[in-house]
Structure 1
Amino acid sequence: MGTNNQIPTEPGILAFHHRCEAFYPADAVDAPIEQQRAWYDALCAEFDAPSPDKLTRQDETVGGRIPVRRYRPAAIATQTRIFYIHGGGFVVGSLESHDAICAEIAHAAKAELVSIDYRLAPEHVWPAAFDDCFKVLQWLLADGRPLVVAGDSAGGNLAAGMALKARAEDITGIAGQVLIYPGLGGDLVSGSYIEMGEALGLTTADVAYYRDVLKAPAENVFAHPLKAGDFSGLPPAYITSAHFDPLRDDAALYAQRLIAAGVNVTYRDEPQMIHAWLRARHMSEGARDGFVRLCRAVSDLVGTL
């Protein structure tokens, strides 16, 4: 349990955390991987939500191997699509874990959204997840339609990495990037990694664990986007962090570096939120507000605002 300066005061987010711990204990990272995934799946099911009216889903595979899910809301107002990459520390998560979140974003933005079931560690270490995501990115961009890449936590890391690799390979078509409490390769020993080291929902020790499991090379900028030397020419970004989260400064520093390089960025630190607040959007006032802001930002990037 975090100290008082690491604990929010909003009743809704505290109730959310309490409910989470009934499914996913604080020491979950000490359990076998399959147990972690079972707990996470149960947790995600607990926070499921009704599907938006007339939204359709279609499951398919890319390259004969990578599962994706296509969401088409009742009203589509843009040719730009959203590519959503789920979080879960590169260890847990699936098409199902973020299904309701993806459906609600697609519906709010009036845009088609495609999510991915990338390979997970430790069975598949770096760069398996990254390669899966980049293959789907190329597949989506092949028809010439613009794309917004988005992701939460580990998915935010992958989304930022996609934008960097696309720039390195002169691949065009990414209209924006949406990074939701992303882990971007911070040093683990300063700033929010110390200040929020024992925060609710995610600790600095947890972040270190997930990095160790992934085994990404320490200096690879696609795995650790904060280590990129040049941030110019990257897509416009909406970056949102949770104040009570060791990853907070990763998001803030990345936003600062993009802005300094001339990239159009909106950054928001959700003042009462903890890591994974997206899942609390139907029970926390702060999470509800953060999700509305997120959906507006996505709408802006895909061109439906």
Structure 2
Amino acid sequence: MTQPDYQSLIDAPTWAFIKRTEAAYPEGTATRSIAEQRAIYDRMCRAFDTPYPAGVTSHDAPLAGVPCRIYPGTQPTVLYLHGGGFVVGGLHSHDGICADIRGATGLTVVSVDYRLSPEHLHPAAFDDACAVARHLAARGPLILVGDSAGANLAAAACHALRGTPQIMGQILIYPGLGGDPSAGSYLAHAKAPMLTRDEVLFYRDIRHGGPAPDADPTVSPLRDTDFTGLPPTLAIAAECDPLADDAPAYARKIAEAGGRARSITEPGLVHGYLRARHSAPRAAASFARITATLTAFAASRWPW
């Protein structure tokens, strides 16, 4: 299959972000030891650190026995689940993103330091996400947000907790939801900048210590047989990403089941673009869409 012309699809500010990322996170990082991968990822994330917006603070505290970072604000609470292939990332890697969400919306944000693979295989991360979601939902209204692997966990938690009235919405950012890796965007964007199909398959399987199960909705929300009772959903894909088909496929299944769901495919953007929100106009516009949707969901308003 002919690969897309990324030179024309991706604009100059996004290319600058890609090059800056690659300088800190070299090709082949996924083949290194887990400890090396985590050190490289953390160093790369630090390169994109920005100061907190005025008035935003944070503190660390366990919730439901899971380490979390809390950015105090108003209700409802935004539960944030970070990306990183279920292998890398934590409270620091997405600290700036969470602080900016708090700054833009005024809402309380809780970032979850869920357990990582391969030390903790599935369902450890899923169990942690559900435990914190249940804890927060018992205390007030809640919106789930996640990027990449964290978006998978957010969706899986919404499926597991379907019908919980306190869950007011979910926002999934370049999610991997269990789409067919032998078709569509997985092949068309197999060699995309920032994330390749081979890396998707590596991170999918390492979560299980072997091949991923075929039809477990706690692993692959797209493989669920029931899409009723899910909260209002925004699923956002990056155009230049092997995972690009998962977001629209997921939103379509919710809509077909009678729910409210919208998908957006961000043109010319790549996996991980949230870190470019201060440098690339396309990423900044997408981040503004995310925070505007959070504000709408917080007001029980469907914005489309």
Deviation by residue 1:223-246 (Cα, 9 ceiling, x = unmatched)? 100001121111001111100000
CA contact under 8 A between 2:24 and 2:40: conserved in structure 1? yes
Q: Is the 8 A contact 2:87 2:116 kept in 1?
A: yes
Aligned match of 1:158? 153
Cα contact 1:177–1:236 (8 A) shared by 2: yes
Once residues 112 and 46 of structure 1 are traced to their aligned partners in structure 2, the CA distance between those partners, rounded to angstroms, is 25
| Deviation for aligned residue 1:3 | 4.4
For 1:147, the equivalent position in structure 2 comes to 142
In 2: Cα distance, 1:241 partner to 1:119 partner = 25
Corresponding position of 2:115? 119
Q: What CA distance in whole angstroms lies between the structure 1 residues aligned with 2:69 and 2:88?
A: 17
Answer yes or no: is the 8 Å Cα contact 1:242–1:270 preserved in 2.
yes
* Residue-pair matches, total: 296
> Are 1:195 and 2:188 counterparts?
yes
2:168 corresponding residue in structure 1: 175
Task: For residue 171 of structure 1, report the CA deviation from its aligned partner.
Answer: 3.5
Whether the 8 Å CA contact 1:166–1:172 is kept in 2: the answer is no
Seen in structure 2, the aligned counterparts of structure 1 residues 132 and 90 have a Cα distance that, compared at 3 Å, is same
Following TM superposition, the consecutive aligned residue runs of length 4 or more in structure 1 with deviations greater than 2 angstroms are 2-9
Secondary structure in 1 matching 2:58 = strand
Determine the C-alpha separation between the residues in 2 that align with 1:254 and 1:121.
25
Task: Give the distance between the partners of 2:142 and 2:131, measured in 1 at CA.
Answer: 14
Distance 1:114 1:197, change over 3 A: same
Counterpart code for 1:177: Q
Amino acid at match of 2:115: R
**Are 1:37 and 2:38 an aligned pair?**
yes
- One-letter amino acid of the structure 2 residue matched with residue 107 of structure 1: G
Alignment of 1:68 with 2:91, yes or no, is no
Residues 258-267 or 156-165, more deviating: 258-267
Q: TM-score, normalised by structure 1?
A: 0.94
The answer on 1:267 being equivalent to 2:268 is: no
Q: How far off its partner does 1:56 sit?
A: 1.6
Contact 2:168/2:300 (<8 A) preserved: no
Q: Does the CA-based 8 Å contact 1:6-1:195 persist in structure 2?
A: no
Q: Give the partner amino acid of 2:259.
A: V
Q: How far apart are 1:110 and its partner, in Å? A: 1.4
Asked if 1:102 is matched to 2:98, the reply is yes
Contact 2:10 2:269 (C-alpha < 8 Å) held by counterparts? no
1:211 Cα deviation after fit: 0.8
| Separation of aligned partners in 2, 1:245 and 1:264 | 25
Of 221, 242, 245 in structure 1, the residue corresponding to residue 241 of structure 2 is: 245
2:254 to 258, 281, 286: 258
Query: Which residues of structure 1 form unaligned runs of 5+?
Result: none
The alpha-carbon deviation at position 304 of structure 1 amounts to: 8.6
Rounded Cα–Cα distance in structure 2 between residues aligned with 1:303 and 1:11: 37
Matches of 2:135 and 2:111, distance apart in 1: 13
Q: 1:277 aligns with which of 273, 277, 280?
A: 273
TM-score normalised by structure 2 residue count: 0.94
Equivalent residue for 1:220, pick from 194, 208, 216:
216
Aligned partners of 1:6 and 1:196 also within 8 Å = no
Identify the residue that residue 208 of structure 1 maps to in structure 2: 201
Instruction: Say what the alpha-carbon RMSD is for the aligned residues.
Output: 1.5
Residues 1:147 and 1:205: Cα distance change in structure 2 (over 3 Å): same
